[in-house]
Each structure stands twice: as C-alpha cells, then as structure tokens.
Amino acid sequence: MKPAIDVQDVSQVYVAKKKAVLAVEHISFQLLPGEFVSLIGPSGCGKTTLLSMIAGLMAPTRGVVGLFGEPVTGPSPKIGYMLQQDYLFPWRTIVDNAYIGLELRGQLTKERKDYVHHLLEEMGLIGFKDALPAQLSGGMRQRVALVRTLATDPDILLLDEPFSALDYQTKLQLEDLVAETLRDKGKSALLVTHDITEAIAMSDRIFILQPRPGRIRREVEVPADIRAELPFAAREQAHFQELFRDVWSEFEQMTAAGAAMKRREGGEGR
Ligand code: ADP
Ligand code: MG
C-alpha cells in the first residue's frame, strides 16, 4: 500500500531580511491511506510549514514530499485544506460558499452540486443553504468550511487547528462530526493542533514536534480502545488519562529544555 503522504527527510529554511530561519529540519513520516495522524507541538515548531509543503504551496528546501507515490510539485486535487478561520465570503450564500472549490476547478456539474446538497444535509446545514455566513454561529460556519473542503472529494484532508477558535462544547461536537465523516468516507487526515486531548481523542498516531528547529521528538501510537471510539467517547476510555499524562510530561520536558536554551543564548548574545 503506497502511503497517502510520504515526507522524506524534509527541511525548510525561511530567508528573511537579515537572517535565515531553519523552520523544520530532517522531518520524515508517513500517513497511510485511511489513517488519522496528528502533529502536536508548541507554536513555532513548524506545523503550518509542514502542511504548506504537503499541500504543494511551498517547495521544501531539502527533501521530498510524496502523495500516493507521486512527488508533490504543486497543489494537488487529492488534498483538501481546512484552517482555523473559515474564510467564507460574506456576500455569498452558504451553498455558494460551499461551491467555491468546485468553481475554481471548473467542476461545478449537476452531480457535484447534488453532492454538496447531500453534504449540507449531513452536516445539518440544508435549512441554511440560502443564508449568509453572518447569520451562522462559528461552529456552523466551520461545518460549511468542512462541506466546501469535502465537495471536491479529496483523498487527504489537512486540518490546521480547525477547532481552536470554537467554544468548548462546539469544538467537541465538531470533532465527533469530522471524525465520523472522515471515517465513513475513508479519508486520510493530518491534523495540526496544540490540544493534547484533541490529538489523542481523534488520532491513530501522534507525532510530537519540538521547536528551534522543528523536529519530530517522538511518535505515539494511540491504543485500540481509544481509536475505536469517536472523540467524545474516546476521552472516557481506560487508557486515555495515562496517555495524556505521558504526552503532557513530554511537553513539560520540552518547554523546560527550551527555556534553558533561551537563557543560554540570551547570556551568550551579550
Ligand atoms: P507552527 O505552525 O508550528 O506555529 P510555523 O510553521 O508557522 O510553526 O513556523 C515555524 C518557524 O518558521 C517559526 O520559527 C516561524 O517564526 C518561522 N516562519 C514561519 N513562516 C515564516 C515566514 N514566512 N518567514 C520567516 N519565518 C517564518
Ligand atoms: Mg501554525
């Protein structure tokens, strides 16, 4: 089975005015078809940079990204990207917002439009299809963003903190909806989050990243009892707290090491 995503020894350097920033270095991992994998780590450890390279929006400085065995050379129809902000156009109705990806690809056929209506129904949004985004709550707007992402039927979803702007209850509901929808449709997903419980509750595997430069610190397999449930119920499984404490202490060690490094650099810099 060819991996859905194959990141092979990838590094990315940003060149700013006077200095170069090594954003990520020597990152390698794979995402298998149908798998749900999370990347977690503190802000600045290169999560968004990694997603941008996988999405073909930016070429790696070194290394290669593959999608189903083909090297990434630019944006691919196999990928759908969902962000923290919904980026709905305020002057377009919900259904017209959901059509955007199809329009951009010249795929706005009767069949695809029907599929969008079906998705809106699945997401409990069909009654709002002619409303404007301003009339919807934050959670509903993120559901529209999910419909828009699924409308083009991508194989892989890249999710960059899609729940982090939502209130807690809405976030938990949407986690379940996203997990169930992607599972039913057999999609592969790569989720970026800084919420440890969300990563454990949603994923098959987790990569913990560390910053300066961004590297993979550890890979964590999520136990079967947690994986078998949707995210809300997963939080109540026997191994959940144990795994949470394990990942939490990894974060604490990482932030302690980071603080020590900053102190040293600060001292040397003067
Ligand atoms: P994360 O998503 O984990 O917060 P990012 O991928 O956004 O991390 O950033 C990783 C590192 O690269 C950070 O040190 C950040 O400051 C730097 N960086 C990100 N984008 C740029 C850019 N366009 N130019 C220069 N540096 C950048
Ligand atoms: Mg980011």
Indicate which CATH number applies to the domain containing 192: 3.40.50.300
Closest-CA residue, ligand 1 atom 17, reads 23
Q: How far is the CA of 115 from the centre of ligand 2 (A)?
A: 31
Q: Are residues 98 and 148 in the same domain?
A: yes
How many domains would you assign to the chain? 2
Residues 67, 90 within the same domain: no
Q: Is the CB of 40 under 6 A from ligand 1?
A: no
Where is the domain boundary, 113, 129, 153?
153
239 and 209 share one domain: yes
Q: Output the CA 269–ligand 2 centroid distance in Å.
A: 28
Q: Of the bound ligands, which one is closest to the alpha carbon of residue 54? A: 1
Listing from the earlier edge strand, what are the strands of the sheet with 79-83?
Answer: 79-83, 156-160, 188-193, 36-40, 205-210, 215-221
* Ligand 1 atom at shortest distance from the alpha carbon of 214: 10
Q: How far is CA 87 from CA 143, 149, 178, 182, 199, in A?
A: 12, 12, 18, 21, 24
Domain boundary among 153, 187, 217: 153
The ligand 1 atom at the shortest distance from the C-alpha of residue 43 is: 4
Please report, in tens digits, the pLDDT of each residue of the chain (270 residues total): 899 999 999 999 999 888 999 999 999 999 999 999 999 998 899 999 999 999 999 999 999 999 999 999 999 999 999 888 888 999 999 999 999 999 998 999 999 999 999 999 999 999 999 999 999 999 999 999 999 999 999 999 999 999 988 899 999 999 999 999 999 999 999 999 989 999 999 999 999 999 989 999 999 999 999 999 999 999 999 999 999 999 999 999 988 877 787 788 775 444
**Residue 38: strand pairing partners:** 191, 206
Do 236 and 165 reside in the same domain of the chain?
Answer: yes
Which among 126, 153, 180 is the end of a domain? 153
Question: What range does the domain containing 149 cover?
Answer: 80-153
Do 118 and 23 reside in the same domain of the chain? no
Q: How close is the Cα of 227 to the center of ligand 1, in Å?
A: 31
Domain match, 252 and 127 both: no
Shared domain check, 186 and 98: no
**Within this chain, do residues 179 and 265 fall inside the same structural domain, yes or no?**
yes
This prediction's pTM: 0.93
Q: Which residue has the tokens 């509750």?
A: 201
Q: Are residues 246 and 174 in the same domain?
A: yes
